[in-house]
Amino acid sequence: MSSNSTLKSSSSTSNHHSYHYDVFLSFRGADTRKTFTDHLYDNLVAHGIHTFKDDEELENGGDIAADLDRAMEESRFFIIVFSKNYATSKWCLNELLKITECMAEKGSEVIPIFYHVEPRDVGNREGSFKDAFSEHRNRSLLKGDWECMP
């Protein structure tokens, strides 16, 4: 990838000089993009919170994985919208891994939202999360070591 960022320029500015984004939204598009997440994004932006949402910030033709990593590194807070099919997406799980790295390395804060799922299913990898993790493990789709995840 070239050294030029393929992230779209934004007219809003962050109140935090060391971060490009106030908030990075992590969500399963098929579950929540056109419903909950769009409403959440619109409200955050309306209140002056510079928010990264993939379909608003990424340009076509770029290195999506690298651009997502860079956006996460440049975000102060993370809002993770855990939904029924969140864990079926390797993209979502790789975002989750990167978010935990940001928490450990720079003290980033996470706000979890449990959208039609039980927090215990996420934390204990039960229900749809258990099935999804098993499927990913069988297909070796994850780039990180998920056994050490808190």
Active site residues: 95
Tokens 């995840």: give the residue. Answer: 149
The HSE-up count of residue 84 (CA atoms within 13 Å, CB side) is: 4
Q: Which residues is 77 bridged to in the sheet?
A: 23, 109
| Euclidean distance between CA atoms 117 and 49, whole angstroms | 26
**CA dist 136 → 4, 10, 29, 146 (Å):** 33, 35, 18, 10
Question: What span, in angstroms and rounded, lies between the C-alpha atoms of 64 and 52?
Answer: 13
Helices 90-106, 64-73: inter-axial angle, 10-degree rounding:
30
Spatial CB neighbours of 46, under 8 Å, sequence gap ≥ 6? none
